[in-house]
Amino acid sequence: MSGRATVPTRPPERARARELQRAAAELFFTKGYEATTLREIARALGIKSASIYYHWDSKETILFDLIRSTMEQLTAGARSVLEREPAADRRLAGIVVHHVVLHALRPKEATLGDTELRSLTRAHARAAMRMRDEYESLLLGVLEDGARRDLFDVLDVKLTAYAVISQCTNVGIWYRPDGRLSLDEVAAVHANLALRTAGGRELAASAMTPLVADAKAFHEAWR
């Protein structure tokens, strides 16, 4: 045998580290990053705070890894829509549906990217902002394309993008699985709200259903 060390039994994917991260996400979401202590995170799994350092280098690393991975998931969802849908109106609807579905399925993780960037170290914050700008530019591209082809009547491209993103992100704060509306309904309504915001025509329910089904499958299967 030559070369690098073998990885024989397929390592456990850091399962315990992920459990800790999930508990941390829950606490970061409800109490805020700064107000959450390592002792609380440890207590959620029944271990001592010092044991966290076997799995993670620092408290901030737990947060950054959460933010990075959900931002990657968000961008990957949008890209998958762009690959499959050529028309700007269906692209906008698809991106919105993905955004809403992710924030509804994983609110605790997904919301951190919008509320806790300021708690990151400078380098990590810059990396997160780059990812956010990249996602934003995908949406801006769709709006510009739709306006150029007269599918949309956009008041202002940037303001429209900000408005759409903020109302979709907001879903993560109030959505409950046992609430008045199903996830399918919430996602479909927001897609049509976004189309209204962009000055486009709403999609029929028959066009919306596959978009929502796709987004749910995409984000449930992630990782």
Partner DNA sequence: ACGCACCTATCTATCGTCCGATAGGTAACT
Partner DNA sequence: AGTTACCTATCGGACGATAGATAGGTGCGT
Interatomic CA distance for residues 157 and 144, integer angstroms: 7
Give the distance from CA 127 to its chain's centroid: 16
The option from a second copy, DNA, none interacting with 174 (CB < 5 to 8 A, set by class) reads a second copy
Q: Does 207 bind a second copy (CB under 8 A)?
A: no
Rounded to a whole number of angstroms, the minimum distance from the CB of residue 116 to DNA is 13
Lookup: tokens for 134:
């990249």
- Identify the sign of the CA torsion 87, 213, 184, 96: negative
Nearer to a second copy, 145 or 185 (CB): 185
Binding mask 139-158 toward a second copy (x if CB under 8 A, else -) reads ----------------xx-x
The burial of 76, by beta-carbon neighbours within 10 Å (0-12 exposed, 13-18 middle, 19 or more buried), is given as: middle
The option from a second copy, DNA, none interacting with 9 (CB < 5 to 8 A, set by class) reads DNA
Lookup: tokens for 124:
């990590």
DSSP tag of 186: H
Nearer to DNA, 47 or 127 (CB): 47
Among residues 26, 60, 114, 185, the one that binds DNA under rule CB under 7 A = 60
Contact 92, 210 (CB under 8 A): no
Stretch that binds DNA, among 11-19, 69-77, 124-132, 210-218 (CB under 7 A): 11-19
Interatomic CA distance for residues 47 and 66, integer angstroms: 21
Size of the site for a second copy (CB under 8 A): 30
Among residues 59, 124, 132, 216, the one that binds DNA under rule CB under 7 A = 59
The option from a second copy, DNA, none interacting with 55 (CB < 5 to 8 A, set by class) reads DNA
Q: CB-side exposure of 39: number of CA atoms within 13 Å? A: 1
Amino acid letter, 59: K
C-alpha distances in Å from residue 40, one per residue of 26, 44, 214? 11, 6, 37
Nearer to a second copy, 10 or 180 (CB): 180
Interatomic CA distance for residues 202 and 194, integer angstroms: 9
- Residues contributing to the site for DNA (CB under 7 A): 8-9, 11-12, 15-16, 36-40, 42, 45-51, 53-55, 58-60
> Binding residues for a second copy, per CB under 8 A?
30-32, 34-35, 115, 118-119, 155-156, 158-160, 162-163, 166-167, 169-170, 174, 180-181, 186, 189-190, 192-193, 196-197, 199
